Amino acid sequence: VYKWANSEIGDHATLIRLYSKFNSWFAYNIADWSK
């Protein structure tokens, strides 16, 4: 159970990292387009 919970947390952290990476990329491109 502990191992499973650990991998769940790991996946969640990865999702958050991907999400914030996408968010900063998106914000960067929006700023580019609005010039």
Q: For the chain, how many structural domains are there in total?
A: 1
pTM: 0.48
Q: Give tens-digit pLDDT for 1-35.
A: 566 666 777 788 888 899 999 999 988 888 887 76
CA pair distance 18, 12, nearest whole angstrom: 10
Write down the number of H helices and E strands in the chain: 1, 0
pLDDT score at 2: 61
Which DSSP category does 30 fall into?
H
Residue 21: predicted pLDDT: 92
Domain that holds residue 35: 1-35
